[in-house]
Amino acid sequence: MQASWEIFCSVVDNYGDAGVTWRLARQLAAEHGLRVRLWIDDPAALVRLCPEVDASASRQWQAGVEICRWPADWQPVEPADVVIEAFACQLPEAHVVAMANCGRRVLWLNLEYLSAEDWVGGCHGLPSLQPEGLQKFFFFPGFAENTGGLLREHGLIERRRAFQADAAARAGFLQSLGVQARPGERLVSLFAYENAALPGWLDALVQHTSPTLLLVPEGRILGDLQRWLDMPALAVGAQAQRGALRIQVLPFVRQDDYDRLLWCCDFNVVRGEDSFLRAQWAGRPLLWQIYPQAEGAHWDKLEAFLALYLEGLSPSAADALQALWRAWNAGEEMGAAWTALQDEWPELCAHAERWCARQAARPDLAAALVQFYTDWL
C-alpha cells in the first residue's frame, strides 16, 4: 500500500500558504500515487485557487486530495506516515503525541520558505531533535544542488512551450478572460502587494514608444492602480487607456489559468513565493516583489536570488535588471530603470528561458520529498 501523507497549512495572509501546499498536495497525489490529506485552517483561501472547493465542508476530495478543515478544537485522527508542517506552522499538540504513540515510525517534516541564501543548503535535510523520540527534519526548497529543489509538475515546461508556440491557444485563453490583445502590444501581467513605485513605472509605460497591455488580476495592487488612474473602484473587466498603456483588470484565476496568463505575457510582475516561482517556469523576464520582513531581512534574500539569477548576463543587462528590481522593492522611481531595461530586452528573454531550463533540470520538490522519505525508511 502506498504511504499516506498529510500536509498542515495555516493561512496567515495572502495566497502563498494555500497556493504552495495545494500544488504540492496535488502533485504528490497525481504523480506519486500517494494518499494525501491537506489540513487547512481557512479552506476559503483555496476556493479562489480551485473554485470547486467547498469552503464550508469539513472534509472533501478534490483532484485526488483529501482536503480537511483544520479545526481549532482538534479531534484525534490517525497520523499519516509522513506529516508535513508547511511554513513553520504549529502542529496540534495532540497530533504530535499521536505521532509518537501510533506504534509505527512517522516522518515529520518542516517544509520551509523558499530562499536563495547560502545558509539554506547547510540546514536542508538536517534533523531537529524532538522529545518522545520523534524524528523531525527541516526541508528547504531552493535553487542550489544542496537544497530540496522547486515545485514543478511533470511535463510543465513542455506544456508551457507548446502553449507559447500555439498562437490560437494563447488567443483563445486570453479571450476566455475577456482579453483582446491588439497587434504590436507587449503583454505584461501585474500581481503585486501595494507598491509606491507603481505610479512611476506606469508613467514610463504611458510614455513608451511601443504599446503595452497591462493585465492585472484582482489583488492588493488594485488600490494603487485605481488612485493612479483616478477612477472609481476597479472591478473585474475594467479597462483604461493612458497614452501607450492599456490596462485591464482580470478576475483572480485558478492556478492553472494563472500559469497560462504568465505564459501569454512578455513580462511578468509577481510577488511572494508561489507566483514568483511560476513566473520563472514561464521562461519570460520577470520582476519580483519580495515579501517585506521586519528589519529589512528580505533584502538579503532578494540580493541572494539576484546573485544567482544574474549569473551569465552581460554586465549591462545585469545592472539594468538589478536596478529595476531594487527600485521596485524600495518603492522608488522606476522610469530610468525601466528605460534602461529596454535595451537589454532580447538578452533578458533568452536568459529567462535558460534560467528556467537550468532549474528544470534538477529534481523537483515533490520528487525530492518522496526520495527523502524513501531514504529515511
Rule CB under 8 A: which residues touch other proteins?
A: 12, 87-88, 110, 112-115, 117, 119, 122-123, 126-133, 138, 273, 291, 293-294, 297, 300
- Where are the strands (E) in the chain, listed by range? 4-9, 35-40, 59-62, 65-69, 82-86, 107-111, 127-129, 135-139, 186-190, 212-217, 239-242, 245-250, 267-271, 286-289
Q: Which of 41/266 has CB closer to other proteins?
A: 41
Least Å from the CB of residue 298 to other proteins: 9
Q: Given the complex with other proteins, which of 13 and 166 has the nearer CB atom? A: 13
Q: What is the dihedral of CA 304, 216, 247, 317, to 10 degrees?
A: 20
CA distance 267 to 287: 8
Q: How far is the CB of 321 from other proteins (least distance, A)?
A: 23
61 or 119: CB nearest other proteins: 119
Cα gap 144→317, rounded to integer Å: 23
Q: Which residues are catalytic?
A: 17, 273
Question: Do the beta carbons of residue 215 and residue 265 sit within 8 Å?
Answer: yes
Choose between 305 and 338: whose C-beta lies nearer to other proteins.
305
C-alpha cell of residue 24: 504540492
Q: Is 362 exposed, middle or buried (0-12, 13-18, 19+ CB in 10 A)?
A: middle
Residues 6+ apart with CB under 8 A from 337: 320, 323, 324, 327
CA distances from residue 342 to 116, 138, 337 in whole angstroms, order as listed = 27, 41, 9
> Strand, coil or helix: what is 61?
strand
**Cβ-Cβ contacts under 8 Å for 43 (sequence gap 6 or more):** 53, 54, 55, 56, 57, 67, 69
At closest approach, how far in Å is the CB of 9 from other proteins? Answer: 13
Between 173 and 299, CB nearer to other proteins: 299
Q: How far apart are CA 178 and CA 145, in angstroms?
A: 42
- Distance in angstroms (rounded) separating the CA atoms of residues 340 and 350: 17
Nearer to other proteins, 123 or 330 (CB): 123
**Min dist. Cβ of residue 138 to other proteins (A):** 4
Minimum separation from the CB atom of position 291 to other proteins (A): 6
Smallest gap, in angstroms, from Cβ of residue 272 to other proteins?
A: 9
5: three-class secondary structure by DSSP: strand
